[in-house]
Amino acid sequence: MLNAQAVAGYLQKNFYESDREQNFDYVVVDTPPTENVIIRSVYALTDYLVAPIIPVKFSLDGIGNMLKLIFGMKQRFNPDLQFLGMVPCKVIGKADKANAEDDRRLRQQEAALQGLLQNPNYAALMLLSKDKKLVGISERQIVENAINEGKPVWKVTGPEAQASSLEFFAVFDAMENKMGGF
C-alpha cells in the first residue's frame, strides 16, 4: 500500500531532482481528475497548480470537491502552493461543429461555462490572459495524437497543429503572467 509520503519521496528523488539538473523553467505534470495518493503527493510538492475543467454539467458539479482538495492540501501540507486558476479544456469551437450532435454539445458547453462564469466564486478562479480573456484548450484530434505519440502538441504535424499550439501557448502565457514571469 502506497502512502503520500512514499510517493512524494519517489517523485522528489526520481523526477524533480533530475529535472532540475536539466535546467527547466517549468515542468508540467498532467494528472487525472481523481483524488488518490499520487495526486495528493503531486499537490504537496508543486509550487503552482492549474485545474483543467471540461465545461459539461457533470464535470462542473465536481469543481467544489476539487477546490476543497486543492485548498485543503495548501492549508495542511503545502502553504506555498499557489492556485493559478481553472482552464476549460475539450471545448468544442463554433467552427469545429460538424453535425447536429456537435451543435448540441456546443450549446451544452456554452450553457455550462456561462453558469460557471455567473458564479462569482468560480468566475474569480478562472485563468485569464493578460488582457483578461478566458484561455482554454479546444477538443481536437491533434491533442490526442500528441498524447499518443508522447510529444507536445507543438511538435506534432497535422491540420490542427498550429491552432492547438496557439491555445496551449496562450494558457502557458497566462500561467506565466500569473506566476510573475521570469
| Residue 28 within a domain | no
Task: Show the domain range for 91.
Answer: 47-179
What's the distance, Cα to Cα, between the start and end of the chain in Å? 40
pLDDT at residue 1 in the model? 41
Q: What is the number of other CB atoms lying within 10 angstroms of the CB of residue 143? A: 20
| Residue 78 within a domain | yes
| Residue 29 within a domain | no
Total count of domains within the chain: 1
Q: What is the number of other CB atoms lying within 10 angstroms of the CB of residue 82? A: 13
Q: In degrees, to the nearest 5, what angle opens at C-alpha 58 toward C-alphas 53 and 60?
A: 40
pLDDT higher than threshold 90 for residue 173: yes
Query: What is this structure's pTM?
Result: 0.80
| Residue 5 within a domain | no
Phi, psi of 72 (to 5 degrees): -65, -40
- The overall average pLDDT reported for the chain is 82
Confidence of residue 171 (pLDDT cuts 50, 70, 90): very high
The domain that holds 120 is classified in CATH as: 3.40.50.300
3-state secondary structure of 91: strand
pLDDT digits (tens, 9 = 90+) for 69-92: 899 999 998 999 999 999 998 888
